[in-house]
Structure 1
Amino acid sequence: MSRPARSASCRCATAGSWPEAAMITKQGSDRTADSAPGPRPPGIGGPVAGLWRPVWAWLRLDLRRRWPSLIALALLVALATGTVMTAAAGARRGDSALDRMLAVTLPPTLVPVPTEPNFDWEAARRLPGVAALGTFLASGSLSIEGHPGVDAGSVPLDTEIFQTVERPVVLAGRLADPTRVDEAVVSPRFLEKSGLSVGDTVTAILPTPAETAAMADNGSAPVSFSGPRQQLKIVGVVRSFWWFRDEPNYQGGLETTYAFTQTYRENLFGTGGQGLVVALVRLRDGAAGVPAFQAALDQQATHPVDAFDVVKGAADYRATTTFEAGALAAFALAAYLAAVVLVGQAVIRFVIGATADLGVLRTLGLTIRQATVAAAAGPVLATTAGALAGAVAAAAVSPLFPIGSAAAVEPRPGFDVDLGVLAAVVGVTVLLVAVAATTTAFAASARGVRPARPRGSAAARLAYRVGLPAPALTGIRFALEPGRAGAAVRPALVGAVVGVLGVLGSLTFQSGVADAAVNPARFGQNFAVGSTVGWLDNDFAPADDIERRAATDRDVLAVNDTLVDVAEVAGRPVTLFSLDPATARPLPVPVLSGRLPATSGEIVLAPGVASRTGVKVGDVITVGRGPADGTRMRVTGLAFVPQDSHTDYNQGGWVTAGGYRALFSKGFKYHELHVELRPGVSAPAVRDRLNKAAGTGDAFYVLTDELPIDAMNRFRGIAVLPRLLGAFLGVLAVGAVGHALFVGVRRRRHEVAVLRALGTTGWQTRAIVLTQAAVIVIVGLAVGVPVGVLLGRALWRAIATSTPLIYAPPVATLALALVVPAVIVTVSVLASVPARRAARLRVPDVLRAE
């Protein structure tokens, strides 16, 4: 075979050798013989098989030549799709966990808590709408030897509970036999904390009847109980929403049987035989039946009976799990979009290189269709393999999900394969890569491979004018100009920018999340310690004495004497708090807009109330105890209020002490103290000191311990996600930049060979590639750092506004300090291998191939 004239197609040929190219095209020409008339021996393919023989021959050759690049591409795809599938499946699992739990556990609708002893629960069972009712002793006490802090005091008073209402799911073992006194079930946290397992035994220590009666009288438990001891065998690990849910900082729970209660009834109830008996009530109509049942229960008791609304509690908990699932889904979406950009560029870069190499075969008769399939086959196969590997990895880590609050209500923890998510991600990924690869290959094959039109860069021209050494100038051009070989320079630059931007943006956002998860001041809670000194118009003790002790403590900056009651604001019930400083320094209430009230005719509302009522700053509204008892007040601002047992920080309002008296006279629902501490002091230490001074153990409490903010728990549950996203984007960017450097040096091997032939040394060749890497670093840092910080802050501001909370610009100090050296070291390491390959290039072979 005579060698064709030198052409652009020949210049780009790297099929190994001319005999190999001739062999491939000869296999393509065999399709003519295959399609000729006459008998065909068995096993010989028809026209279709002959048509694609050159494609398979090229693919086998290409796999041998480019297997490192294809493996790198497959690993990138596996990392990207595995991460996305894991996050998406985890989000779906977490979002549905509570509903799946409620669907199988017969949850209560209400938990009535009557205050009188000997309440007639049998009559309550017969009330209309009751599907099941189980009672338990809420005031019981017992301890588990060697396991302090375990919740074991609430014991069942019938066999309905855990059978017809709040029947838990069994994670291991079985439910306890209600007729056995020596059996118990535990929550998963108990086993985690204790190191025990199903089948092990523990010892329950009960109080004497006198000790139980003494606890009821003075409200404090003895250091240890001196009553009977009962061996309990752990027969099961269970979970449910209301009873067996392991909350943060919870030591776990243990539940005995009805037989245990009957055996030790006197020890549990005390000498008086009276205790706080509470019921779990499941209504046939669910939440819709609550009003009728509540009215009937109030009529039976002849007074309003307070009740925990389990349906509302589930709705609030669902809001938390939905928030966490949404954050995980957003993580999956961000990861997939970043992967599409970075992996997509790697695929396109690979296809363009393969199309250029196929140019010589085009001159020998390879069709456009054959060239398109041949160029796209490698990336599509690598993507398919990587996506399947990612699916296997996602299934393997499924026992780690769901995360956050959903983990406490997952009815089926362990291995779980979400085939819908896996199939969707694998299918969409392979389809996207197939479309991108084939369209790119077809376009490149249709227009033919021509020498790239040189496109200069301003930076290279400036370097030339400055007189930089030839290796530095060439490295700058390699980084910013495609050259005659048409090398893609944007992928490496985009990869560096996306990596720096993604890592800094994620960690900046994470800084805001971490701050909100631990800092109650972001929710307007600038007071760390509180005290409830009165209830329903009566103080428990002289409030002035407790107030004075708090105000004179060395670590206290401000004390507010807060009266709390409920009024109608614009026709809706709103909890109002009085601003009444007990110290020279007033309580610092952060105002979101406007100002605090200064007169008795002014009021500040929480943003949630303003949004609910449609009230704006400056409006004059009617505030009063009822529709006929209203006072006109001007809204002077918006501010958060104290988190309380009956309301949250975003629902309420502030009035002056005079404004409170005008509305409520001297009455109150709660009388509280809110105490601001010096920065940096320990709130528990101040609480303990104040309680010691007050002569009691529970006069003061740490607000975040007694009255946790749901939003803080939500942020605590997702705090790890931005870090994981930053790590994912960083690793993906490293892979993309490394792939771009490897392929770029290979595409420019002719230019490097010419430079070597003209006298460039091996070390100068290394300097070219390292300079190219340095330019990539500079571009990545110059664009990625400011844009990443701005993007992270913009996203956090949006979250702060929607939560809501007080926005403070987050700063990822450690990330900002380490990003420059980390990027320099990473890219230098990535560039070292292609730099060494460029320095060891076999110049005669490269020039002979050209």
Structure 2
Amino acid sequence: MSALGGVVRSGVGRRRVQTVVIGLVVMIAVSAAVLGGSLMVASRAPFDRAFAQQRGAHLTAQFDATRTTAAQLSASANATGVTAAAGPFPTASITPVDRRGREMESITVAGRADPGGPVDAVTPTEGRWVTGPGEIVLHTDSRLPEVLQPEVGDVLRLPDLPGSPTLTVVGVARSVSETAGGWVTPEQITALTAPGATGGYQMLYRFATDATATQVDAGRAAVEASVPAGALTGTRSWLTTRTNSAGNTVLLVPFLIAFGVLGVLMAILIIGNVITGAVSTGTHRIGILKALGFTPGQVVRAYLVQALIPAMAGAALGVVAGNLLIIPILAQTNEVYGTADSGVAPSVNIVVIAGALALVAVTAWAAASRAGRLRTVDVLAVGRTPGPGRGQWAARLAARLPLPRPVTLGLAHPFARALRSATIIAAIAFGAAAATFAVGLGTSLNKVQASESHGDVIVHPGGRMAKPPPGSGPGVAPGPPQAPDPVAVATAITAQAGTSGYSGAVETEVTTAGLTSALDTLALTGDNSSYGYEMVSGRWFTQPNEIVVAKPFLTATQTQVGDTIVLTSHGTQITVRIVGEAFNIQSRGMQILTAVATLTAAEPELRPMTYEITLKTGTDPAAYVEGLNTALASAGATAEIAEDEIPEVLIVINTLTTLLTLMLITVAALGVLNMVVLETRERVHDLGVHKALGMTPRQTIAMVIASVVVTGLIGGAIGAPVGVVLQKLIVGEMGRVTGFDLPASVINIYHPAELVLFGLGGLLIAVLGALLPAGWAARTRTATALRTE
């Protein structure tokens, strides 16, 4: 073995703490980087990746079956610019009634025997594909409210078609192009077409050029020119679908960038401090090596390799850990995005490993080259203990404090090595900032989720004691339900003990000039219809002809709070005033909130279909529902406890927040551990003197713990405000990229007492990192310490 190899092996074995800390820090940093980098890749253009994986349709076209034939449509696949096509698929529009007897939203169903094909490969997510008549597969991204979402096995009835046929839900599938609300066998379409209705065909196209609206329009024109005039009745561009798909899929990007920056900066600080400390404590040894004939280059290489050995081991373990951690998280993001990513991209592993080792190499080279350039005589004359006078002012000031002497000695220690203490303060600050940011982000997201919950109990049509009409057959729901008597329902709700407030709601649609699609409108009644809606600006409506909307509506209509617009409902024009902007994510922020009385001129029979009730504190929901159902039996309505489902993207973010925060706090604590070990080794002779003068093991522990109190408090005091600022920036950015203005209650979530606790979190990180070295120092024998120079 060469002399240089012996020096490297001796250094790695002798500095076990630094070796372990470097390995662990690199491992955690690489794990976090692989995790974050992989999710950054997964979050980058998720719709585009899912679109490519599923061979999405650049153009979804609808044709009039009376003006063209299937053969002519098949020939349109040869139109100029078309690279692939699927279809023709016969289509029909149906309005099913669900298992509870409630009319669902009308959907377009396509007759498709196979979910695959050259365009729009539909991906089943639950159940199976249709194999015969009487079966349907529903699109998983249906706009139906959650309480109306059918499940596999449900039977849907079609009362407006001859014979009231039924369809059994045999599966749920995803179409990235959103080409249909459901799929049946092609033979089933004839039975699903209403008498007198015009049949239709659907064709799906992919174009050679599709990046801009102009290119897609050119492809559309070529397709239209290849079929008989008037046959094309409607189209949908993939660019429109991509715009509408944004939503939650972009939330992870600013979140991951924030944690990624924190992790990288902290890793740089800790690794730099560990390696610099290892070189500084080995300065005397460097002098001996130079006296034995080692050149400055050999000294630098020796310490570079000593740092790279644990770094390479840590990087290898970190890559393995990161790949293992990403598997379950990618399973969740695949569900959110509709993608099929199975693991980490190799490029992420390569970049992360190369970056981590380069960071360690540069830091080690910078620290070792400085010591390698010193003259041998100067290096040999350097002691490990700080020179006299460094930090003496702090020692004198601490001695005046009414505290035990071991504690005051510890409090003064950080000021003897100001630069080293500053780097540890920065690391602790990052750890405290990560914890503050993580808790704040989780709280903000939970408040966003809570904004979708408007009651503890929900009342909907369909009494539990109601029986199907004679001849309807077993398992077949009765006809479409009628809205329950609002007076009877309101009387039952208000008379029930435990009621705090309630609101009735009915969904309808209106149109307005400038927008091509109908607008979902929620008409409300009751005594607390604003419950759960956070106001961003303006006020809640208080009388008819006033509406409350969200930011996307204001953006789309180029209006602001205070403006008036004209809505059209059933041919009747209604002039309304926008009196407030609420945080409402329903219908991607395009839902209108107003009073039922606003629309009664156009819809005289409009009345609430569902009621949402808030309960008084301490009320048992189960007992309340049981009692209310007894009162509602004669009203043809049913009450049940409202259940809120946590969105998958929120589960992903909460999981990542907890995981990455624990990683950053661990890295910060390892940095403190390394600093305390260095301080203890540099002052081991002083420690022996203290022990010889009567310092007990408990006092030794107190002194070592006290040595990190100042750095912990300062780091926490800096980190907590940084975490608050970071939380506000990231949450605000999440709102911006989704097109919403967030209410103050979602952004300003910290209380002064909580900030004090987060600030003390820096002290907790410091103390956790100092516990092991404090125990080692307490167990050091006095004679051993006194012999150490």
Q: Same fold (TM over 0.5)?
A: yes
Residue aligning to 2:743: 806
Aligned to 1:282: 204
State the alpha-carbon separation in 2 of the partners of residues 846 and 518 from structure 1.
60
- Matching of residues 313-324 of structure 1 within 5 Å: 313-317=241-245, 319-324=247-252
2: CA distance between counterparts of 1:270 and 1:244? Answer: 18
In 2, Cα distance between equivalents of 1:58 and 1:400: 43
Offset from partner CA, 1:96-155 (integer Å, 9 cap, x none)? 6654443354445677899x99998748846856642234788799x9xxxxxxxxx999
Match of 2:87 among 112, 115, 132: 132
Give the match for residue 146 of structure 2.
Answer: none
Corresponding residue for residue 21 of structure 1: none
The answer on 1:162 being equivalent to 2:116 is yes
> Which residue in 1 is equivalent to 2:41?
92
**1:386 CA drift (Å):** 1.6
Seen in structure 2, the aligned counterparts of structure 1 residues 278 and 397 have a Cα distance that, compared at 3 Å, is: farther
Choose from 289, 300, 303 the match for 1:375: 303
2:743 aligns to what SS in structure 1? coil
Match of 2:14 among 61, 65, 86: 65
2-structure distance, mates of 1:513, 1:77: 31
Give me the whole-angstrom Cα distance separating, in 1, the residues matched to 2:281 and 2:68: 84
**Cα distance in structure 2, aligned partners of 1:617 and 1:186:** 39
Please state if 1:834 is matched with 2:773. yes
Matched, 1:744 2:679: yes
Deviation of 1:77 after TM superposition, in Å, equals: 0.5
Report the AA paired with residue 345 of structure 2.
D
In terms of mean alpha carbon deviation, does 582-591 or 353-362 score higher? Answer: 582-591
Matches of 1:573 and 1:745, distance apart in 2? 73
Cα distance in 2 for residues equivalent to 1:831 and 1:586: 55
Corresponding position: 1:514 with 2:442? no
Q: 1:567: which partner in 2?
A: 512
**TM-superposition CA deviations, 1:260-305 (whole Å, max 9, x none):** x87xx79x95999999998653124476456897999998689x77
SS of 1:283's partner is strand
Q: Distance in 1 between matches of 2:678 and 2:765?
A: 18
Letter in 2 for 1:423: I
Q: Secondary structure at the match of 2:319?
A: helix
Report the more deviating stretch, 763-772 or 683-692.
683-692
After the TM superposition, which residues 21-40 of structure 1 pair with which residues of structure 2 at under 5 Å, given as runs? none
Q: Which letter maps to 2:30?
A: T
Match of 2:82 in 1: none
Q: Find out whether 1:608 has 2:552 as its counterpart.
A: yes
Amino acid corresponding to residue 116 of structure 2 in structure 1: F
Give 1:839's aligned amino acid.
A
Aligned to 1:498: 430
Asked if structure 2 preserves the Cα contact closer than 8 Å seen for 1:133 and 1:165, the reply is no
In structure 2, which of residues 45, 51, 59 is the aligned counterpart of residue 102 of structure 1? 51
Q: Percent identity?
A: 20
Decide whether the 8 Å contact of 1:113 with 1:277 is kept in 2: no
Pairwise CA distance, 1:62: 0.9
* Distance (Å, rounded) in 1 between the aligned partners of 2:456 and 2:69: 42
Name the structure 1 match of 2:636: 695
Change in Cα spacing, 1:752 to 1:433, as seen in structure 2 (3 Å) is: same
User: What residue is the counterpart of 1:422 in the other structure?
Assistant: 349
Give the direction of change, closer, same or farther, for the CA distance of 1:99–1:608 in structure 2 (3 Å limit). Answer: closer
Q: 2:360 aligns with which of 433, 446, 452?
A: 433
Per the alignment, residue 553 of structure 1 pairs with 493
Task: In structure 1, give the amino acid aligned to 2:511.
Answer: V
Equivalent in 567, 571, 582 of residue 639 of structure 1: 582
Equivalences for residues 102-501 of structure 1 within 5 A? 102-108=51-57, 122=70, 125=73, 128=76, 131-135=86-90, 157=111, 159=113, 162-168=116-122, 241=176, 281-285=203-207, 288=217, 312-317=240-245, 319-324=247-252, 327-362=255-290, 366-407=294-335, 412=340, 414=342, 416-446=343-373, 450=382, 452=387, 454-456=389-391, 460-466=395-401, 468-482=403-417, 488-501=420-433
Distance 2:108 2:561 in 1: 48
Aligned partners of 1:276 and 1:139: how far apart in 2?
13
Confirm or deny: 8 A CA contact 1:109 1:283 kept in the other structure.
yes
Given that residues 451 and 534 in structure 2 are in contact (C-alpha distance below 8 angstroms), is that contact kept between their aligned partners in structure 1? no
> Partner residue of 1:43?
none
Aligned positions, number: 714
Judging changes above 3 Å, is the alpha-carbon distance between structure 1 residues 270 and 477 closer, same or farther for their aligned structure 2 residues? closer
CA 1:601–1:549 in structure 2 vs 1: closer, same or farther (change >3 Å)? closer
One-letter code aligned to 1:594? G
Distance in 1 separating the partners of 2:27 and 2:367:
22
Tell me, yes or no, if the aligned pair for 1:575 and 1:653 is still in contact at 8 Å.
no
1:355 CA displacement: 3.4
For the 8 Å contact 1:324–1:404, the answer to whether it is kept is no
> How much does 1:457 deviate?
7.1
Q: Contact 1:781/1:820 (CA < 8 Å) preserved in 2?
A: yes
Q: Does the Cα contact within 8 Å between 2:507 and 2:520 map onto a contact in 1?
A: yes
Aligned residues of 1:561 and 1:582 also touching (Cα < 8 A): no
Counterpart contact for 1:169–1:411, Cα < 8 Å: no
Task: Report the CA distance shift for 1:165/1:829 in structure 2 as closer, same or farther (over 3 A).
Answer: closer
**Conserved? CA contact 2:255–2:730, under 8 Å:** no
Shift of 1:345: 2.3
Q: Distance in 2 between matches of 1:816 and 1:184?
A: 54
CA contact (8 A) 2:158 2:166 kept: no
Quick one: structure 1 residues 128 and 739, their matched pair in 2 at CA, closer, same or farther if it must change by over 3 Å? Answer: same
Choose the corresponding residue for 1:651, options 590, 598, 607.
590
Change (3 A) 1:631 1:819: closer
C-alpha distance in 2, partners of 1:417/1:369? 39
Q: How much does 1:402 deviate?
A: 1.9
Is the Cα–Cα contact under 8 Å of residues 259 and 660 in structure 2 kept in the other structure?
Answer: yes
Checking the alignment, whether the CA contact within 8 Å between 2:94 and 2:192 is kept in structure 1 is: no
Please give the secondary structure, in 1, of the residue aligned with 2:493: coil
Cα displacement string for residues 539-560 of structure 1 (whole angstroms, at most 9, x for unaligned residues): x998793476347623443447
- Contact kept? 2:537, 2:580, Cα under 8 Å: yes
Q: Is the 8 A contact 1:750 1:847 kept in 2?
A: yes
**8 Å CA contact 1:78, 1:388 repeated in 2:** yes
Deviations 1:731-770 (A, max 9, x none): 2222222222222212221322333345544444333223
CA distance in 1, matches of 2:70, 2:633: 45
| Contact 2:407/2:702 (<8 A) preserved | yes
- Shift of the 374–139 alpha-carbon distance from structure 1 to 2, 3 Å rule, reads same
**Structure having the higher Rg:** 1
Gaps of 5+ in 2: 78-84, 99-106, 141-151, 211-215, 463-479
Relative distance call for 1:722 and 1:297 in structure 2 (3 A) is farther
Distance 1:559 1:127, change over 3 A: farther
Given that residues 391 and 413 in structure 2 are in contact (C-alpha distance below 8 angstroms), is that contact kept between their aligned partners in structure 1? no
Report the counterpart of residue 146 of structure 1 in structure 2.
none
Cα distance change of structure 1 residues 625 and 527 upon mapping to structure 2, 3 Å threshold: farther
| 3-state DSSP of counterpart to 1:489 | helix
Q: Give 5+ residue unaligned stretches, structure 1.
A: 1-26, 28-52, 144-152, 189-203, 226-231, 248-252, 534-539
Alpha carbons 1:139, 1:277 under 8 Å: kept: no
1:477 and 1:363 mapped to 2: Cα distance?
Answer: 36
Counterpart position of 2:537 = 593
Distance (Å, rounded) in 1 between the aligned partners of 2:229 and 2:459 = 37
Aligned pair in 2 of structure 1 residues 376, 845: CA closer, same or farther (>3 Å)?
Answer: farther
Q: Distance in 1 between matches of 2:393 and 2:555?
A: 54
The CA distance in 2 between the partners of 1:610 and 1:272, in whole Å, is 38
Deviation, 1:437, is: 1.9
In the superposition, the TM-score normalised over structure 1's length comes to 0.66
State the alpha-carbon separation in 1 of the partners of residues 567 and 769 from structure 2.
70
Cα deviation, residue 779, structure 1: 4.3
